[in-house]
Structure 1
Amino acid sequence: MPIPLFNSIASWLLKKRYHQIELFLKYPEEVQEEVLLQLLELAEDTEIGVRYDFGSISNYNTFKDRVPIVSYEDIEPLIERTRKGEQNLFWPTSVKLFAKSSGTTNAKSKFIPVSSEALEDCHYKSGKDLLCLYLNNNENSQLFTGKSLRLGGSKELYGDNGSFFGDLSAILIDNMPLWAEFSSTPCSRVSLMSEWEHKLKAIIKESVQENVTSLAGIPSWMLVLLNNVLEDTGSEHLFQVWENLEVYFHGGVSFNPYKEQYEKLLPRQHFRYYEIYNASEGFFAIQDRNDADDLLLMLDYGIFYEFIPMDTYGTKEQSAIPLWDVTIGENYAIIITTNSGLWRYKIGDTVRFTSKKPYRIKVTGRTKHHINVFGEELIIENAEEALKIVCGKAGAEIKDYTAGPVFMAGKEKGAHEWIIEFRKRPEDLDYFTEFLDNALKSLNSDYEAKRYNNTTLTMPKVHMAREHLFYDWLKANDKLGGQHKIPRLSNKRDYIEELLRMNN
Structure 2
Amino acid sequence: MINEILTWAVQRRLTSIEHFRNHPHEVQQQVLQGLLSTARGTDWGVRYGFGDGFSAREFAQRVPVSSYEELYPEFERVLRGEQDVLWPGRVTWFAKSSGTTNARSKFIPVTRESLHDCHYRAGRDMTALATSLYPEARILSGKTLSLGGTHAPNPFRLDDAESRVGDVSALIMQNLPAWAEYLRTPPLELALLDEWEEKIERIARHVQHIDVAVLAGVPTWMIVLLRRVTELVGAENITEVWPNLRLFLHGAVAFGPYRDLFRQLVPSEHMQYLEIYNASEGYLAVQDQPNSEDLLLLLNHGIYYEFIPADQFDAEQPQTLQLEEVELGKNYALVLSTNAGLWRYKIGDTVRFTSLAPYRIRISGRTKHFLNAFGEEVVIENADAAIAAACSATSTTVRDFTAAPIYFDNSDASRGGHQWIIEFTKAPTDQTRFAEVLDQTLRRLNSDYDAKRHRDIALAPPVVTVAAPGTFERWLAGKGKLGGQHKVPRLSNSREIVEEVLQEVEKAVV
Fold in common (TM above 0.5): yes
Please state whether the residue corresponding to 1:336 is helix, strand or coil.
strand
Structure 2 equivalent of residue 438 of structure 1? 440
For 1:88 and 1:202, how far apart are their aligned partners in 2?
41
Structure 1 equivalent of residue 486 of structure 2? 484
Instruction: Tell me the CA shift for residue 309 of structure 1.
Output: 1.5
Q: Which amino acid aligns with 1:106?
A: N
Q: Name structure 2 gaps, 5 residues minimum.
A: none
**Cα 1:201–1:62 shift into 2, 3 Å:** same
Q: Which amino acid aligns with 1:329?
A: G
Q: Which amino acid aligns with 1:477?
A: K
Given the two structures, how large is their TM-score scaled by the length of structure 1?
Answer: 0.97
Structure 2 equivalent of residue 457 of structure 1? 459
Q: Does 2:113 match 1:100?
A: no
Please state whether the residue corresponding to 1:17 is helix, strand or coil.
helix
For 1:213 and 1:313, how far apart are their aligned partners in 2?
42
Do the aligned partners of 2:131 and 2:138 also contact (CA within 8 Å) in 1? no
Structure 1 equivalent of residue 310 of structure 2? 310
**Cα 1:341–1:243 shift into 2, 3 Å:** same
Further displaced range: 457-466 or 115-124: 457-466
Structure 1 equivalent of residue 283 of structure 2? 283
Q: Does 2:14 match 1:18?
A: yes
Of 64, 73, 77, the residue aligned with 1:68 is 64
Deviant stretches of 4+, over 6 Å: none
For 1:253 and 1:269, how far apart are their aligned partners in 2?
24
For 1:121 and 1:408, how far apart are their aligned partners in 2?
52
Instruction: Tell me the CA shift for residue 311 of structure 1.
Output: 3.4
Tell me the alpha carbon deviations over residues 321-378 of structure 1, each in whole angstroms, 9 at most, x when there is no partner. 0111111111111000000110000000111111011001111111111111111110
Q: Which amino acid aligns with 1:308?
A: I
**Cα 1:131–1:157 shift into 2, 3 Å:** farther
Matches within 5 A, 1:175-194: 175-194=175-194
Instruction: Tell me the CA shift for residue 454 of structure 1.
Output: 2.2
Tell me the alpha carbon deviations over residues 290-311 of structure 1, each in whole angstroms, 9 at most, x when there is no partner. 2221111010000000111223
Instruction: Tell me the CA shift for residue 383 of structure 1.
Output: 0.5
Matches within 5 A, 1:299-448: 299-315=299-315, 318-412=318-412, 413-448=415-450
Instruction: Tell me the CA shift for residue 477 of structure 1.
Output: 1.3
Q: Which amino acid aligns with 1:268?
A: S
Structure 2 equivalent of residue 217 of structure 1? 217
Instruction: Tell me the CA shift for residue 430 of structure 1.
Output: 2.2
Q: Does 2:116 match 1:120?
A: yes
Q: Report the aligned-residue RMSD.
A: 1.3
Instruction: Tell me the CA shift for residue 83 of structure 1.
Output: 1.3
Instruction: Tell me the CA shift for residue 215 of structure 1.
Output: 0.5
Do the aligned partners of 1:313 and 1:333 also contact (CA within 8 Å) in 2? yes
Q: Does 2:39 match 1:43?
A: yes
Do the aligned partners of 1:350 and 1:367 also contact (CA within 8 Å) in 2? yes
Instruction: Tell me the CA shift for residue 158 of structure 1.
Output: 4.5
Q: Name structure 1 gaps, 5 residues minimum.
A: none
Instruction: Tell me the CA shift for residue 142 of structure 1.
Output: 1.6
Q: Does 2:126 match 1:130?
A: yes
Instruction: Tell me the CA shift for residue 146 of structure 1.
Output: 1.3
Q: Percent identity?
A: 47
For 1:104 and 1:403, how far apart are their aligned partners in 2?
14
Instruction: Tell me the CA shift for residue 156 of structure 1.
Output: 4.0
Instruction: Tell me the CA shift for residue 171 of structure 1.
Output: 1.0
For 1:489 and 1:320, how far apart are their aligned partners in 2?
26
Please state whether the residue corresponding to 2:340 is helix, strand or coil.
coil
Tell me the alpha carbon deviations over residues 392-429 of structure 1, each in whole angstroms, 9 at most, x when there is no partner. 11222111110001124313221111111111112222
Do the aligned partners of 1:371 and 1:377 also contact (CA within 8 Å) in 2? yes
Instruction: Tell me the CA shift for residue 316 of structure 1.
Output: 6.0
Q: Does 2:465 match 1:469?
A: no
Do the aligned partners of 2:397 and 2:426 also contact (CA within 8 Å) in 1? yes
Tell me the alpha carbon deviations over residues 30-83 of structure 1, each in whole angstroms, 9 at most, x when there is no partner. 000010011111111111111111112421110111111000111111111111
For 1:64 and 1:188, how far apart are their aligned partners in 2?
42
Instruction: Tell me the CA shift for residue 109 of structure 1.
Output: 0.9
Instruction: Tell me the CA shift for residue 254 of structure 1.
Output: 0.4
